[in-house]
Structure 1
Amino acid sequence: MTDNELIHILALQHVPNIGDITAKKLINHCGSVEAVFKEKKQNLLKIDGIGTIVISDLFNKEHFTAAEDELLFIKDNDITCLYFTDSEYPERLKHCIDSPILMFQSGNIKLKNQHIISIVGTRKITTSGIDFCNTLVEDLSVFNPVIVSGFAYGTDITAQKAALKHNLQTIGCLAHGLNQIYPKVHKKYVADIKKHGGFFTDFWSSDAFDRNNFLKRNRIIAGLSEATIVIESAEKGGSLVTADIANSYNRDVFAVPGRTTDKQSVGCNNLIKFQKAHLLSSPLDIPYMLNWELDNKEKPTVQKQLFVELTDEEKIIYNYLKADKQQLDIIALECRLPIFKVASLLLNMELNGVVRPLPGKYFEVI
């Protein structure tokens, strides 16, 4: 985009009372962001949902002054700007009604044809939560997913450090401008993350640091990804907000269950109890539920072994499928096993060359 176009986009983003949803409505009606500022006020008021309060400050020249200052910061710091209609704008985020009209990017982010998951949770992550998160990322690394999180204490930085360890791309979604890093102790990870991913934000360098920014930031975490995974959460917390947003976007949500006596498992248990999340008991549940497949270059050669050691539950499924192919839901019903358990067992059996998946979530014995 040209500097003039970017100035107009920034100016519109700077107008109070005009959020992303309203901004898109104005742009779509007028045809372009430049046309919004050229349109007569009385014509704008004819747009459904646009009132005098919304556009009362639209034509204030201070917005263009602020936009020019921010443009200087953008250029001086090698920041990439992503407009919501650009081809480079994250595809999944385009389908979110409240996604930012303009996002700022630093680093080396590449999202084309990638599996993308968000991993969130409490800042007071337990030892068992850290272990599960590390195992999750390690086991999924063969699928080369992009790991998205909020770069905060606890679960966020655990997931992103695990991604770096396994040479995966990782994205930190910030609740402030790219002129700073919070928490400051995480500055030591910035260079590696920019090398293997980067940072997204829709906040300006001049925006005040505010707690409410974190809740606004969560829509980007949820919107970027095909699924959001909650590792641990107390009864209330930002990760639960992210899960709710992901549900509103019709994205998959997974939660790791815990003991009812564990404070940091209450939120996850409630997500599962109220059917707001799939129960996540094994890393293999993720690729199965999301229908991930390994690239041919990465896919290990799998051949049926003569003497495969099956667990008792796998034997039940194997004996049932010997009669005929069947769908996942029916297998779970007839074998009297939870569907999440059957999904994990079938994936393990597939990797061992015992069964193979068919279209329509059918499976058959090889």
Structure 2
Amino acid sequence: MLLLRFQNQILKMTENNLLYTLALQQVPNIGDITAKRLINHCGSAEEVLKEKKQNLLKIDGIGAVMLEALFKKSYLKEAEKEIDFIKANNIKAFYFNDKNYPEKLKHCIDGPILLFQSGNIDLENRHIISIVGARKITSNGIAFCESLVEALVPYNPVIISGFAYGTDITAHKAAMKHNLQTIGCLAHGLNTIYPQVHKKYMVEVEKNGGFLTDFWSTDKLDRNNFLKRNRVIAGISEATIVIESAEKGGSLVTADIANSYNRDVFAVPGRTTDLQSVGCNNLIKHQKAHMLSSPLDVPYILNWQLENDKKPAIQKQLFVELDATEKVIYNYLKENEKQQLDGIAINCNLPIFKVASVLLTMELKGVIRPLPGKLFEVI
């Protein structure tokens, strides 16, 4: 009886925390970054909403305009209605500091303070990649996307995308075809689906994967929601892959966000005359993405290993000749172990474009290798 009472108390506390976090999420001028700062300072969203305004104003970065609407009771009433929706639809809600909140998203400064989930999602100890690209995907783009997912099946990755037209749904369908877990990151609440034509895929997605969003059931479908959603797509995965993109587009925004999170980005090159390859070619040209010419480039660059698969024995050639610049970089990596390209350039006093070229030459010589997170190390 005592145990049951204790369990009920925990449940009540959790729901109470959800209530106040939802209320805080609704306050204008307070985004995820500010909300986290307030919660971390006060201990919980409830404590934030019960704290005196003058005390909150002492927190760095918190101003009077920001707190103007903080204590309105209407936000709690709206939060109660949203909790009713969450309960009625068996939706899971995760806080940014929960154990079950996606690990990589925890490290994103603007990651959602709350994430809502439907389906059967399991991200623990899994390779996670995001596949994005043009909504008007070409037949070549479809073929590459399908061959990419098929080639990655032995590594059992989770395939993330936005459940939109074109590249997104192609990636989801390819994952489902090969029984891989796939997750749709939505730009709206879990009470609807956009586009409606993709509703027929929902049940299958939720059987082995599901949907994630930080939007409420009452949020209106807005163009800006898709750009906001892209930070989840980029942040939840270890790498973002752009299949096709025109000169401008949402997938390029996702790639930029992934780069800002220091995640790997891949882009599929195309002919210079192909409009849907301009964006990918530019990412590669400006060194914002690895060139993805073969599906197996992904596990190679991310250093994925198959289960029970020993790392390939790479035997360094004896007496490999290194030029003066290569020796500088080699000695630096030998002393400092794993380092990023930017750090190598700064500490070796070399331009970044020069370092990128030299690292590739050294990799071909078998003296260094790339690692996840744009790191390099001596073999």
TM-score range, shorter chain: 0.7 to 0.9
The structure-2 alpha-carbon separation of the partners of 1:187 and 1:325, relative to structure 1 and needing over 3 Å to count, comes to: farther
Partner residue of 1:122? 134
Q: For the residues of structure 2 that align with 1:255 and 1:339, how far apart are their CA atoms?
A: 18
Q: For the residues of structure 1 that align with 2:378 and 2:296, how far apart are their CA atoms?
A: 16
Determine which of 28, 34, 41 is the counterpart of 1:16.
28
The structure-2 alpha-carbon separation of the partners of 1:337 and 1:60, relative to structure 1 and needing over 3 Å to count, comes to: closer
Q: Superposed, which structure 2 residues align to 1:128-277 within 5 Å?
A: 128-277=140-289
SS at match of 1:198: strand
The structure-2 alpha-carbon separation of the partners of 1:325 and 1:73, relative to structure 1 and needing over 3 Å to count, comes to: farther
Determine which of 38, 50, 69 is the counterpart of 1:38.
50
Deviation of 1:196 after TM superposition, in Å, equals: 0.9
Q: For the residues of structure 2 that align with 1:166 and 1:289, how far apart are their CA atoms?
A: 23
Deviation of 1:325 after TM superposition, in Å, equals: 8.6
Q: For the residues of structure 1 that align with 2:228 and 2:57, how far apart are their CA atoms?
A: 27
Partner residue of 1:98? 110
Q: Which amino acid aligns with 2:243?
A: I
Q: For the residues of structure 1 that align with 2:130 and 2:70, how far apart are their CA atoms?
A: 36
SS at match of 1:103: strand
Partner residue of 2:293? 281
Q: For the residues of structure 2 that align with 1:136 and 1:19, how far apart are their CA atoms?
A: 36
Q: For the residues of structure 2 that align with 1:22 and 1:324, how far apart are their CA atoms?
A: 55
Deviation of 1:326 after TM superposition, in Å, equals: 10
CA RMSD of aligned residues (A): 2.7
Kindly indicate whether residue 17 of structure 2 is the aligned counterpart of residue 5 of structure 1. yes
TM-score by length of 2: 0.81
Kindly indicate whether residue 124 of structure 2 is the aligned counterpart of residue 112 of structure 1. yes
Deviation of 1:3 after TM superposition, in Å, equals: 1.4
Q: For the residues of structure 2 that align with 1:178 and 1:210, how far apart are their CA atoms?
A: 15
TM-score by length of 1: 0.84
Q: For the residues of structure 1 that align with 2:321 and 2:220, how far apart are their CA atoms?
A: 56
Deviation of 1:339 after TM superposition, in Å, equals: 3.9
Q: For the residues of structure 1 that align with 2:163 and 2:263, how far apart are their CA atoms?
A: 21
Deviation of 1:33 after TM superposition, in Å, equals: 1.3
SS at match of 2:124: coil
Deviation of 1:321 after TM superposition, in Å, equals: 5.7
Q: For the residues of structure 1 that align with 2:111 and 2:161, how far apart are their CA atoms?
A: 17
Query: Share of identical aligned residues, percent?
Result: 69
Partner residue of 1:89? 101
Q: Which amino acid aligns with 1:170?
A: T
Structure 2: segments with no counterpart, 5+ residues: 1-12, 327-353, 367-375
Contact kept? 2:17, 2:44, Cα under 8 Å:
no
Q: For the residues of structure 1 that align with 2:358 and 2:74, how far apart are their CA atoms?
A: 63
Spell out, residue by residue over 1:210-255, the C-alpha distance to the aligned partner (whole angstroms, 9 max, x if none): 0100000000000000000000000000000000000000000000
Partner residue of 2:82? 70
Deviation of 1:361 after TM superposition, in Å, equals: 5.7
The structure-2 alpha-carbon separation of the partners of 1:337 and 1:188, relative to structure 1 and needing over 3 Å to count, comes to: farther
Q: Which amino acid aligns with 1:145?
A: P
SS at match of 2:65: helix
SS at match of 2:184: strand
SS at match of 2:87: helix
SS at match of 1:52: coil
Q: Is 28-37 or 57-66 further displaced after alignment?
A: 28-37
Q: Which amino acid aligns with 2:131?
A: I
SS at match of 1:209: coil
The structure-2 alpha-carbon separation of the partners of 1:290 and 1:361, relative to structure 1 and needing over 3 Å to count, comes to: farther
Partner residue of 2:343? none
Q: For the residues of structure 1 that align with 2:173 and 2:319, how far apart are their CA atoms?
A: 45
Q: For the residues of structure 2 that align with 1:145 and 1:258, how far apart are their CA atoms?
A: 25
Structure 1: segments with no counterpart, 5+ residues: 305-317, 347-358
Q: For the residues of structure 2 that align with 1:326 and 1:94, how far apart are their CA atoms?
A: 44
Q: For the residues of structure 1 that align with 2:72 and 2:106, how far apart are their CA atoms?
A: 29
Deviation of 1:52 after TM superposition, in Å, equals: 1.1
Q: For the residues of structure 2 that align with 1:285 and 1:337, how far apart are their CA atoms?
A: 19
Q: Superposed, which structure 2 residues align to 1:305-324 within 5 Å?
A: 323=318
Deviation of 1:323 after TM superposition, in Å, equals: 4.5
Q: For the residues of structure 2 that align with 1:207 and 1:173, how far apart are their CA atoms?
A: 15
Deviation of 1:324 after TM superposition, in Å, equals: 6.8
SS at match of 2:66: helix
Q: For the residues of structure 2 that align with 1:2 and 1:146, how far apart are their CA atoms?
A: 29
Q: For the residues of structure 1 that align with 2:47 and 2:321, how far apart are their CA atoms?
A: 57
Q: For the residues of structure 2 that align with 1:135 and 1:112, how far apart are their CA atoms?
A: 25
Partner residue of 2:340? none
Q: For the residues of structure 1 that align with 2:279 and 2:120, how far apart are their CA atoms?
A: 34
Contact kept? 2:181, 2:208, Cα under 8 Å:
yes
